[in-house]
Amino acid sequence: MAVRVFDIRYGPDDADSPVVGILATITSAGRDGRMAAIGVYKSALTRFGVVQRRQPFNGVNHPHS
């Protein structure tokens, strides 16, 4: 499944949590455009095929960044 993450709800700052909670839009799997709340194991985020693209904060390009 491919998703476009638009918010991280919990987990990345908590060393005791094995999961990161995200809100995302599904971009594959026959459900394009549907929003979903997903729990992703942190270990899965380092697997082959995972792509991380840096996006401007809130989608805004700041001239001094």
Render pLDDT for 3-20 as a digit per residue (tens, 0 to 9): 888 888 888 888 898 999
Q: For the residues 16-33, what does the mean pLDDT come to? A: 84
In sign, the C-alpha dihedral spanning 44, 21, 8, 24 is: positive
In the numeric block, the tokens 């919990």 are attached to 10
- Closest C-alpha among 45, 57, 3 to residue 26: 3
Q: Structure pTM?
A: 0.62
List the chain domain ranges.
3-49
Per-residue pLDDT band for 61 (boundaries 50, 70, 90) equals: low
